[in-house]
Structures are given as structure tokens and as C-alpha cells.
Amino acid sequence: MGSGILSVGIDIGTSTTQVIFSRIEMENTASFFAVPHISIVDKEVIYKSDIYITPLINSYLIDGDKVRDIVAAEFEKAGFSPEDTQTGAVIITGESARKENSAVVLKKLSSFAGDFVVSTAGPDLESVIAGKGSGAQSYSEDNACVTVNLDIGGGTTNIVVFDCGKVVGKGCLDIGGRLLKLEKDYSVTYVSPTVRKISDKLSLGIEEGRATSEEALNKLCAEMVNLTEQNLGLYETSDLAKSIVTKTSTPLVINKPIRAVCFSGGVADCIYNSDKEPLAFGDIGVHLGKAFRQGRLYSDFKLIKAKETIRATVVGAGTYTTSISGSTIAYSESVLPIKNTPVLKLTFDDQARVFEGDKDYLKEKLNWFMSQSDTNRLVLAMEGDKNPSYLKLRQIAQCIGQALDETLPESEPMIIITECDIAKALGQALKREYADRRNIISIDNISVDDGDFVDLGKPLMDGLVIPVVVKTLIFG
């Protein structure tokens, strides 16, 4: 028998803020005599809000009260109250995630519905999220090819590279549609550092308080596209191209030839549809879209039209998919339940290095993830090894234990999830070393992905299993 829940997603980006309601249908897909397993069987976006310009108090501060007013009004328009929503997500992305009071905004909005997944997405994670939402990941997986997604927003371009559906590269550039703001008479009201650098290089004379020209904007945007293509390896990378890499992003590395390209984000609408007024949005978004349309990324590769453009980052979120852990587990019961913990999933190559004892590599990965996710707690997930020897298991536990112990705050537990049935032995090995100062939870037979959030409930069936709720971002 199936059941439905209402999910709400709230996306606060550099340029726009929007609200989306989805109906998520779930069903017990296990056989009659098996342990219940609840799966998503259908999802439908039932309401999309207007797209609002993200309200700011000034260039640095999001206006949290106005954002909350927008969300409250959209709840009313959609015909729902906060009590109707069982789950949801508040995602702050792009330059908005860097604003001084983003934490305050998250706090204001997270009260709109039960247990929201609340996240300030760093540029790397935003890249992956957008690539899922646009359909680039599924195209790469379905066609067994290397696909690049460029999510071009107001302040940044988030780039992710998929190979057969797996993330093999990610990065972010300070390229976006609202890096230059203008009036209808071409008088300039805002110039970003990136635009200033390009203007100086090309002698365009773009300055706040002065009028510019259509010709100057075309040259500016053509150079933005050129710098983007340099960072994707289409040309030799200049010092200027290196200087526009977003400081907190991972260096973009592409080791295989690109076969397909997908554009998402607000500027993508101006790439796929070239009939918009040049200054329709009071910025260079239309010009930038036209420039990408004339560039090599558009012409030299298989072009995938995104399933979602401006709504790629979030079209509904916080879906509850309940699973039950395996029975060979280890845990500190006093710390349960634990809610809304972000997942770092090791790739096959990451896991191989960890299993060889590369503690420093794992520490670097953990620190990156915690900074990207703005969190002090995480779940370390991996496929695991089906039949490790005792010595190999000790080596794995030693590497994981030291890395987590040296990275996590003292008050935070070590939480490990594996797909293979090794959690009890791994947890016991960790407990022998760290039980005097760390709570430890090690569970298996659970499949999670990067970007998921996990709830761990109190043990069931005389402590044999733990209920696990995986909250997965749902993309349109």
C-alpha cells in the first residue's frame, strides 16, 4: 500500500529565490515476509512559485525577513500551511552562501516545516546538485560517456564532469549574469571584480556611474566564455583564466575527452532561447547566454538541453526513504537518535587509498567536505570490502579512526555506513581504540550518495537493527 507526503524546497541563490512543492509517493517494495523497505515510486512537482530576485539589505547581507515573507506568501498561494509539509529543504547557493548572515536566514526558514534538510551548499557540492537536476548525470550514465554540466547563475558558473554517471571532476568560476548590472540606458550600477579585470584587459572602460555600450558588453561576454573554455581545457589557460576560479572550489581536472555538454542555471534560458531583450534583467545575462551560444562549448559537442535550467538546483527536496540497517552492526546507543547528518561517500578510488592506510588523504577529504557543507558532523560512507582479512580490517579501522578523530570536534560521534556486511567488525575495531572518548556508530546494508542527509533512529528488534532515513534531494 502506498502513501504520499508533501515536500517543499526553498532555493536562495545569488540572483533568485524560489519555492517548489512536490508530492512524493512511497510504497513498501519488499516481499510479504521480508523486512519492510520503503521506496519512492513516484514524484510530481505540484506547485512552482514565481521566481523572485533575492532580496538584499546591501551588497553583503541577505534580507532574511523579506525572504521569509516571500516563502510565507508562496505557502498561501499554493494553498498549504507549514503543518501540511512532512519534509523539505532550504538550500543557499552561489554568492548568497557567502553572505554574512546566511546562517540567520537558514534559521528563519527552517522553521517552516518539520525536519528540513538545511544546507549552505559550497561551490563543489552545488555543482554536483545542479548536474543531477539538469539531467546531465543521467545522460552520462545512460550513454556511458563524459558529460559536463555548466550551471551558470548570477555570480558563479558551477561545473561538474560525469563519466558514466560518476563524478570525476568539479569546479567553480566567478562567471555569471549579474556580475555587471545596468539600467536600460546602459548606465552601469554595479561592477564585480571579474568584470573589472576583463574590462581592464580589453580596455572596455566599464565603470560604475558611466554608460557602456552594446559593443562593449558583447566583447566582455565573449571573453567570459573564452575564459570558461580555457578552464575546461579547450585552450591554454591564461593567468586571467586562473584568477577567476572561485577561491573555495576544487581545481577542475578533466582526464578524458568531453562528449556532451549541458547548460543549466538562469543564464541557460538565455542560451537555449535567444529571443530575449538584451537588458531584460538589468544585467548581462542575455548577452552572456548569446556569447555561450556562439562559443565552442555550444557548437563542438553533443548539446543536451537541460530538463531544468533555473530550477535545476532544487525542484523538491527532503524526501524520506526509510531503510533498516543490517543486523551485523555496532553502535553507542546513548547518542541515538541522530538527525540531518550529511553524507560523504567515498568513491572507489578514494576507498582504495583509505584501505591502503592513506590517513592524510582521508583527512583532506573530510576537511574539504566539512568546509563545503558548513558542518561539524558527517557520515562517512563507502561500499566496503566483502571479505577483508583480519589484518586488512585493522588497517582500515586504524586509517578511518585516526582521520575522523583528528578531524571531527571532540563532541561529535564517528558514524560509518557501508554497503557490504562488515560494520560490526569495523565498529568493534574502532571501539577498542576510541570508545573511551568517542561515540561510534557503524552500520551496513545501506546505500547512500554524496549530498544525502541521514537520520538514525533508536534501535529496533532488541537492538538488532537501526532504522535509517535517507533524505535525498529530488530533482525534476
Calculate the average pLDDT of the chain: 82
Nearest to 136 by CA among 118, 146, 153, 149: 149
Helices (H), 86-147: 102-110, 123-134, 136-143
Q: What is the pLDDT of residue 262?
A: 96
Question: What is the DSSP annotation of 158-206?
Answer: EEEEEETTEEEEEEEES--TTSEEE-TT-BEEEE-HHHHHHHHHHT---
Range among 134-138, 192-196, 268-272 with highest mean pLDDT value = 192-196
- Do 379 and 419 lie in one domain? The reply is yes
- 305 vs 178: CA distance, rounded Å: 23
- Do 109 and 160 lie in one domain? The reply is no
Kindly state whether residue 316 falls inside one of the protein's structural domains.
no
Report whether pLDDT(51) > 90. Answer: no
Quick one: pLDDT band at residue 20, thresholds 50, 70, 90? confident
- Do 140 and 245 lie in one domain? The reply is yes
Report whether pLDDT(117) > 60. Answer: no
pTM assigned to the model? 0.69
Q: Which domain holds residue 449?
A: 325-472
Kindly state whether residue 359 falls inside one of the protein's structural domains.
yes
Report whether pLDDT(464) > 80. Answer: no
Q: What is the pLDDT of residue 444?
A: 84
- The residue among 85 and 233 whose pLDDT is bigger is 233
Count of structural domains, the chain: 3
Last residue of a domain, one of 121, 147, 182: 121
Quick one: pLDDT band at residue 31, thresholds 50, 70, 90? low
Residues shown for the chain:
476
- Do 278 and 334 lie in one domain? The reply is no
Quick one: pLDDT band at residue 321, thresholds 50, 70, 90? very low
Q: Which residues pair with 9 in a beta bridge?
A: 20, 89
Kindly state whether residue 319 falls inside one of the protein's structural domains.
no
- Do 301 and 385 lie in one domain? The reply is no
- Do 61 and 151 lie in one domain? The reply is no
Nearest to 245 by CA among 193, 299, 285: 193
Q: What is the pLDDT of residue 2?
A: 47
List pLDDT tens digits, range 363-393.
Answer: 999 998 988 777 889 999 988 887 788 888 8
CATH at 208: 3.30.420.40
- The CA-atom distances, in angstroms, between 292 and each of 158, 281, 299 are 15, 17, 9
* Lowest pLDDT segment from 16-25, 113-122, 210-219: 113-122
- Do 50 and 150 lie in one domain? The reply is no
At residue 284, the 3 state secondary structure works out as coil
Last residue of a domain, one of 71, 96, 121: 121
Report whether pLDDT(413) > 70. Answer: yes
> Could you tell me if 324 and 37 are in contact, meaning their C-beta atoms sit under 8 angstroms apart?
yes
